[in-house]
Structure 1
Amino acid sequence: MDQGMELRGCVCRIKSSALELLSMEEDLVTDLDDDLWDLVRRDLQLKSTFLYIDLSRVIARNECEERREEITLLANDFFYFMDELSDAMASRSVSVVKVCYGKLARALREVVAAVAPPAAA
């Protein structure tokens, strides 16, 4: 497989996963019943896993050291906030989940902006 094609596929999946995560806000900031808390938490973990795989590939195959470092730092922030959100989901505190989700969403937007190729002028 062409390496450029693989990277474009990774970026496309990162964007898609990000959109799915960002669209989960309403589900996360409402009081859920016990089964739904666990279901939403597992869904977050699954999406996080796919993001981890694709971000690892994008970082590993990026030829520019500076961009690799930038994306790595942003990805580390994102996964830190993902862990915080997962812990908040386990505590089932809606107010804590809201705060953690806000931090996660900001970090995720920064990751997507860093990996997405600049728009053609």
Structure 2
Amino acid sequence: MLDPVKDDDGAPFWRYAAEGELRVQACADCGELRFPPRPCCPHCQSFATEWRPVSGRGRIWSYVVPHPPLLPDYAAQAPYNVIVVELEDAPRIRLVGNLVSAAGAALNSLDPHGIRIGTRVHAVFADGLVQWVRS
């Protein structure tokens, strides 16, 4: 499995994920939630930030099953899915991940043909990564 790129702006996201918590960046001045993390608030242009916990509940907004696998490290796991999750308590934020059968399960642990847009999911954590399972 490939490790995510952890830049300075996004590093807290991965630190919280390693602790089993889903948090998103928020403007400390106007309260606007934002993802992906960035230094400046697109709403009020403030550089003040904080990380707020979110429930980790959401729904599948979109998905894809890559054919053929474009990254060699993933070839052995094909077919696998990549889903986009719209967060229930922050609907303008969408996170990309994988729908799996249980925390820590392989990317190909579910048949991708059974995935449906609108399916309720919740975040689980394994090895510092956020994965998604059906609710």
Structure with the larger helix share:
1
Which structure would you say has the larger RCO, counting Cα contacts within 8 Å and 6 or more residues apart?
1
The alignment's TM-score, normalised by the length of structure 1, stands at 0.30
Q: Under a length normalisation based on structure 2, what TM-score does the superposition of the two structures give?
A: 0.28
**Larger strand proportion of the pair:** 2
